[in-house]
Structure formats: C-alpha cells, structure tokens
A and B are shown apart, each in its own frame.
Chain A
Amino acid sequence: MAVVDRQGPIADKWTHVADDAPMAAGQSVIVSFARLKNEHNSLFSAAGAVGVEIGGDANLDELEPFLPRLGVVVIRMNTMRDGRLFSLGRLLRDRHKYTADMRAAGDLIPDQVLFLLRCGFTSFEVKDNFPIDSLKRSVAAYTNWYQRAGDRAARVAELRQGSTS
C-alpha cells in the first residue's frame, strides 16, 4: 500500500488502527467512525493527530462536529465502480466545509484520480504497484474543463469571455 497525491508518492504519517488495537501516545492515527464517536475525548487528547475512515454509507451530518479537529478523512470504496466517493467528496467540502486532507482509498486507477482531484480529494491510498507515470500523465490530460467542480477551476464558458476564436 502506498499513498500518492497528484504528483506521485508522498510520505505518509498516518497509521490505520483497528477498533480493538491499542495506540501509542503521539501517534497519527486513522480510526473507524465508530471508534471516533466512542472515544473522541481520549483520541483527541492522546493521539498526535486523528483521522477517520468512512465508507459510502457514512452519515456526514454526524461526522460534521468532528471535522475541524480531523487531520484526514479517508473515504474507502470496495470497487472502483462505486462512484459515491465523488459526491461524498463534494459534500464534505461544500456542505460540511471540511478543509484538511481528504483521501480516497480502494481499488483506484490513475484515470479516476483526475476526477477525484476535481471533487476535492487531496491524497490517494493505492496499491504498491500503482503506475506513477500514468498518474502523472492522467492528471495533466486536460487543460480546461466545461463544468465548474470542487476544484473551482475556471470553466471554458468563463475563459471564452474575452477570447475571440
């Protein structure tokens, strides 16, 4: 397992900690939403940093109160075809105003990273043999877009104002 951003592999300080596993003080831990709800007081005081992992069914309204103190939200999908990820990312950013690292996890391919970036994701948990060359090419595939999305990039419609051809 590796973690990448749009440019390639990045150092990852986070450790996934199972619900019944102990954790060392000062560790940067990613816990389940259930554990976060049950142990948030001790987690936020003992851990170095806290992140949470959620699935496609997560209730984001319930998560919202914790968001300002989280260092990463990992959204995991079981298959690359489960596109709820994209909308959940938009909601976390736009509705719940989450601003820290948002990480997609699951059976991702480089071609999806491009769209995930546009939906507000910032890092990606991928397999070790993830093709970095393809990732770099894929995220640079397009200069402009037709629609406004989570990255707030200017749209073609706006760029056309003042353009003559």
Chain B
Amino acid sequence: MAQAKPAKAEIKILTANRLRNGETVYYTAAGEWSPYVTQAKVAATPEEIEALTKIGAAAYAANLVVDVAVIDIVPGGEVKPAHIREIIRATGPTVRSDLNKSVAP
C-alpha cells in the first residue's frame, strides 16, 4: 500500500550569515559553511530537518553565524530556494548584475 503523501512537501536547507563578515552561507554535507547555495545539505525528512535546526542553533551558540534559518527549497534538481527573499540572498541584488553571486564554486 502506498504511503500517505504529506500535505505539503518539505525540503529544506540551513542558511545563516557569518558572524565576522556577514557573508551569506549555507551548511554543507561536508559539515562546513559555504557561500554557494548549491552546496547546501538537503533535508527531506522531519528528522533531517530537526538535525539541521540543531546544527544551526549550535553554530549560533558557538558565535560562528547569526540570522540562522532553515528555509524551503524547490523540489528536484539543483538546490534552489523557494522564496524570492532567499533567491536574492543566494544570488545577490537583482538590480546589480555586476554584483551577482555564484551559486556554485
């Protein structure tokens, strides 16, 4: 029997800004903070999301990062944030193409 589908698919990544320079960063599968959104570790189950949340809280408490958030991404393919605010955080101001940020190294 097929499992009941959750009402809303929840796929998330962990993001923050580095304390010392404010840079927008994403928590990676390698356990590091990367400026590239496509390197973000993806959490697809409630347990994985809970684990990311805890990692974020610990990194905040350790004064590595601030403005910690677990955010939604678009399902499938390369990691892409779901909300316009997070797309702008990942890619830079939409009005200065010369200042765009890369999503991958």
Q: CB–CB under 8 A between A and B in the complex?
A: no
Interface residue ranges, B against A (CB under 8 Å): none
